[in-house]
Structure formats: C-alpha cells, structure tokens
C-alpha cells in the first residue's frame, strides 16, 4: 500500500546528521491539511530532497546526499 507524504515532511537517513524536509514542486493543486501532496516527481536530490548533512558511514565524512529509488 502506498503512503502519502506532503510538503514539509521530515525525512530521515540513519547515517546522516540532519533531518531535512521534503519540498514538493511537482504539482500545486492537491493538498492535505493545507500541505501539497508529494508525487513520484518529487524525487530530485538537492531540489526536492536536500542533503542529510554529514554521512557517518565513512571517514572523512562526506556530505550525505540522497539517492531516491523508484
């Protein structure tokens, strides 16, 4: 079953140091509780999904960039 996410949803990476928020840019008309509903089009790293901060998985610690699937 699909899950609905909206603009401003907090995202999480277990190896990142930040919890950024989703930015919905794919549409401007569908809303839930006055927040735009995200679509599969909102999967662009650094546009819709910001960095998760510093990656804890290696040293030196590079920026933690998202790699959306799907």
Query: What residue numbers bound the domain in which 1 lies?
Result: 1-56
Q: Which residues pair with 14 in a beta bridge?
A: none
Q: Is the pTM of this model over 0.75?
A: yes
Whether 42 maps to a domain, the answer reads yes
pLDDT band at 50; cut points 50, 70, 90: very high
- Domain annotation covers residue 66: no
What's the total number of domains in the chain? 1
Phi, psi of 17 (to 5 degrees): -105, -5
The whole-number average pLDDT for the span 18-33 is 97
Q: With contact defined as beta carbons under 8 Å apart, do 55 and 61 qualify?
A: yes
Inside any domain, residue 47: yes
Please report whether residue 1 resides in a domain.
yes
């Amino acid at each position: 079953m699909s899950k609905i996410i909206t603009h401003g949803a907090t995202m999480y990476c277990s190896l990142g140091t930040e919890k950024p928020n989703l930015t919905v840019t794919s549409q401007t008309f569908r809303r839930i509780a006055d927040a735009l509903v995200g679509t599969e089009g909102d999967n662009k790293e650094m546009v819709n999904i910001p960095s998760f901060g510093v990656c804890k998985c290696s040293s030196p610690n590079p920026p933690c960039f998202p790699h959306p699937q799907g």
